Amino acid sequence: MTDFNGKTALVLGGSRGIGAAIVERLANDGASVTFTYAGSKDAASAVAEKTGATAVQADSKDRKAVAKVISDLPSLDILVINAGIAVMGDPLELDPDAIDEMIDINVRGPYHAAVDGARAMNDGGRIIVMGSVNGDRIPFPTATGYALTKSAMQGMVRGFARDFGHRNITVNAVQPGPVDTDMNPADGPLKDMMHSAMAIKRHAHASEVAGMVAYLASDEAGIVTGALHTIDGGFGA
Ligand code: NDP
């Protein structure tokens, strides 16, 4: 168990999958949680009802919309930048606009959210970014653009850890392997290929990733910063 009583948290992309599990974990452990979503209003309402968190529609592509969510908060201790999409396919065939949109959501949005979050955040705060083991390794074709965005998160957390360390704000990336969500269902067509690369041959549960986020958000993790925390069943081993 972690204790977030008295803490305020913002989770970007909390309506489904890993983000919803993070909202649930932080709220269950006492945090006052706000989360954003892009289009899934019903899913967001269900998460809000289940957890007592506050749902706000704000597209991570829209820097000003996310900045407004942050500035509307009474205070901020924990920022989890989770929203992301995966555009996969033959790079010679993929729509370049779809790749640009992914870069906007997965890279441009997180950079500006981290800066705006740090500006608003109490000293001793936590910034946690959802990377991917594909930021380290990409052992199959069709995922170059996605890997590019997750590698970008690695440089980002290292840099921001230096920029914000004097305020005891920690900045870390969590790097999951396959996690059972809408993005990557455990019974999807790529499951056998993914599991063949793993030491523990199953998708992670979103709650397992949320547990790692909770540790990084906790007081206990105050000296952990600028680091990449892989949780991948040995996918990258
Ligand atoms: P899902 O597709 O299941 O959920 C994505 C969440 O992000 C939803 O809440 C969605 O909101 C939100 N989101 C997506 N785009 C935007 C946007 N433009 N603005 C605001 N919110 C947005 O994905 P996962 O839970 O699987 O993935 C979450 C993160 O984890 C991503 O960054 C992903 O890259 C990363 N990851 C996932 C892995 C996996 O195997 N599942 C492995 C490694 C990393 P809405 O419901 O409104 O669409």
Which atom of ligand 1 approaches the CA of 38 most closely? 47
Count structural domains, the chain: 1
Whole-model pTM? 0.98
Cα 199 to Cα 174: distance, rounded to the nearest angstrom:
19
Average pLDDT across the chain, whole number: 98
In 3D space, the residue among 158, 150, 73 whose CA is nearest the CA of residue 117 turns out to be 73
Q: Would you say 158 and 214 are in contact if contact means Cβ atoms under 8 Å apart? A: no
**In a domain? residue 236:** no
Residue range of the domain that includes 117: 8-231
Segments of the chain with pLDDT less than 70: none
Report the alpha-carbon angle 65-25-161, nearest 5.
Answer: 60
**In a domain? residue 237:** no
| pLDDT at 1 (0 to 100) | 80
| pLDDT at 237 (0 to 100) | 94
Centre of ligand 1 from the C-alpha of residue 233, in Å = 20
**In a domain? residue 3:** no
**Annotation marks residue 111 as catalytic:** no
The pair of three-digit structure tokens given for residue 21, joined into one six-digit string: 């599990």
Cα 133 to Cα 57: distance, rounded to the nearest angstrom:
28
Element at 80 (helix H, strand E) = strand 78-81
Cα 31 to Cα 227: distance, rounded to the nearest angstrom:
24
Q: Which residue ranges have their beta carbon within 6 Å of ligand 1? A: 13-19, 36-40, 43, 59-61, 82-86, 105, 130, 132, 176, 178-179, 181-184
| pLDDT at 30 (0 to 100) | 98
Q: Are strands 170-176 and 228-231 parallel, antiparallel or unpaired?
A: parallel
Centre of ligand 1 from the C-alpha of residue 182, in Å = 8
**In a domain? residue 204:** yes
**In a domain? residue 107:** yes
**In a domain? residue 218:** yes
Q: 223: domain CATH number?
A: 3.40.50.720
**In a domain? residue 214:** yes
**In a domain? residue 1:** no
Which atom of ligand 1 approaches the CA of 131 most closely? 44
Centre of ligand 1 from the C-alpha of residue 15, in Å = 9
Ligand 1 mutation target, pool 25, 79, 85, 182, most atoms within 8 A of CB: 85
